[in-house]
């Protein structure tokens, strides 16, 4: 797994500093952006000095047999790159593949400006000051605050709708993400104003949804895989904040209308909720 947006593990098996980057990055002195279980993610430039990009490097695993390690690294990088190119062809918003070398274990992807849905939601929660102080249910409190600010709610639901549509489009073209969390959904600021710029508070709910981290993605049209994608996302919403959980209904509503097979997936989601992500395999 390569959750590039996941928090760095407190007891990561290998320190990021012990790795020598492969050619041509060996002498580039790059700082690690995040670290997943299998990949190290750096920010750098590629092709031109003003093209920011993400470098994803899967270092060799010392605990694996070298031949097996090479094969797995190659297969996983290739799968990720193929899925991204496929999505891009079909107009699904994902980072472009700018370069890569499977033998050496690196992949260079387009830099996506903006912040993660996770961050946007966290900040929203923080902004509303949703604290269950006098023992009241936070969800009730959220509804109350939300009703006071209709505009904010409308924009928030708009964002949820765009999440639903983005996931729907992805599933429609025959791809399941495999690790669909709020950290793997980016909100890209609208227009050409994609400079990191000063803190934006007013319009940070605007912008299009870009899906990132396809390290676990598969090309599949099974409703089970699609339902599991939604289930994982639902859990991610629930984990963010109790108040964010009910927002997920809007994600599902728009998802359900986004493509032909979506309704069946929502039915399957109900089954997945009962049993969890892992299916019992009997017989």
Partner 1 sequence: MAKVRTINLPHYTAYPVHICMFKDVKNAAFLRKQLLEANPEFDYAFLDPTMILTPQHILSATLLSLHLHLTSRAKTRTPHSELVFRLHPNNNIGESYRKFGISDDSDRIIAVKLSLTPEITNESVGQHLGSVVEGESVDVGEGVENVGMWCDVEKVKKVYKLDSNGGKGREGGTAVNGNAPTNERKEMEAVMSGVITLKGS
CB of 60 to partner 1, least distance (A): 16
CB of 184 to partner 1, least distance (A): 19
Give the Cα separation of 39 and 35 in Å (integer): 6
Q: Is 197 in the site for partner 1 (CB under 8 A)?
A: no
What single string gives the DSSP state of each residue in 235-272? HHHHHH-HHHHTTHHHHHHHHHTTSTTHHHHHHHHHHH
Cross-strand pairs, 64: none
- Of the candidate residues 16, 32, 43, 102, the single one contacting partner 1 (CB under 8 A): 102
CB of 44 to partner 1, least distance (A): 7
CB of 63 to partner 1, least distance (A): 26
Q: Alpha helix locations (H) across 112-222?
A: 117-128, 138-148, 150-172
- Of the candidate residues 39, 41, 54, 84, the single one contacting partner 1 (CB under 8 A): 84
Region from 33-41, 74-82, 215-223, 240-248 binding partner 1, contact rule CB under 8 A: 74-82
Helix, strand, or coil (residue 181)? coil
Give the Cα separation of 230 and 164 in Å (integer): 9
Q: Is 175 in the site for partner 1 (CB under 8 A)?
A: no
CB of 282 to partner 1, least distance (A): 38
8 Å CB contact between 105 and 60: yes
Q: Judged by CB, which is closer to partner 1: 94, or 128?
A: 94
| Burial bucket for residue 96 (CB in 10 Å: 0-12, 13-18, 19+) | middle
Give the Cα separation of 3 and 213 in Å (integer): 7
- Per-residue binding string, partner 1, 36-65, x by CB under 8 A, is --------xxxxxx-x--------------
Size of the site for partner 1 (CB under 8 A): 36
Please list, residue by residue across 55-78, b when 16 or more beta carbons sit within 10 angstroms of its beta carbon and e when fewer do. bbbbbeeeeeeeeebbeebbebbe
- Of the candidate residues 101, 123, 152, 206, the single one contacting partner 1 (CB under 8 A): 101
Give the Cα separation of 62 and 6 in Å (integer): 22
Q: Verify whether residue 179 is a known catalytic residue.
A: yes
* HEC per residue, 54-78: EEEECCCCCCCCHHHHHHHHHHHHH
- State the catalytic residue, choosing from 7, 122, 137, 179: 179
Region from 164-172, 210-218, 219-227, 273-281 binding partner 1, contact rule CB under 8 A: 164-172
Q: Judged by CB, which is closer to partner 1: 97, or 156?
A: 97
- Per-residue binding string, partner 1, 123-162, x by CB under 8 A, is ----------------------------------------
CB of 50 to partner 1, least distance (A): 8
Helix, strand, or coil (residue 231)? helix
Interface ranges with partner 1 (CB under 8 A): 23-25, 28, 44-49, 51, 78, 81-82, 84-85, 88-93, 96-104, 110, 165, 169, 172-173
Tell me which residues are annotated as active site. 179
């Amino acid at each position: 797994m390569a959750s590039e947006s996941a928090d760095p593990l407190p007891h990561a098996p290998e320190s990021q500093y012990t790795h020598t980057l492969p050619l041509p990055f060996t002498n580039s002195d790059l700082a690690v952006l995040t670290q997943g279980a299998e990949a190290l993610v750096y920010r750098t430039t590629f092709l031109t000095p003003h093209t920011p990009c993400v470098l994803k490097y899967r270092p060799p695993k010392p605990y694996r047999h070298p031949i097996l390690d090479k094969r797995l690294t190659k297969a996983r990088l290739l799968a990720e790159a193929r899925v991204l190119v496929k999505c891009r062809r079909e107009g699904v918003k994902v980072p472009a593949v700018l370069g890569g070398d499977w033998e050496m274990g690196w992949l260079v992807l387009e830099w996506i400006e903006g912040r993660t849905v996770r961050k946007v939601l966290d900040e929203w929660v923080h902004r509303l000051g949703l604290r269950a102080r006098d023992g009241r249910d936070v969800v009730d409190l959220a509804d109350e605050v939300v009703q006071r600010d209709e505009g904010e709610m409308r924009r928030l639901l708009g964002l949820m709708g765009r999440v639903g549509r983005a996931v729907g489009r992805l599933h429609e073209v025959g791809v399941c993400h495999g690790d669909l969390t709020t950290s793997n959904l980016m909100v890209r600021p609208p227009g050409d104003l994609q400079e990191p710029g000063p803190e934006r508070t007013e319009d940070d709910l605007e912008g299009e949804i870009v899906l990132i981290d396809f390290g676990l993605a598969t090309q599949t049209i099974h409703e089970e895989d699609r339902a599991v994608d939604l289930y994982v996302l639902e859990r991610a919403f629930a984990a963010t904040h109790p108040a964010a959980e009910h927002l997920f209904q809007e994600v599902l509503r728009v998802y359900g209308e986004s493509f032909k097979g979506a309704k069946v997936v929502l039915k399957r989601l109900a089954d997945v909720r009962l049993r969890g992500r892992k299916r019992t395999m009997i017989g």
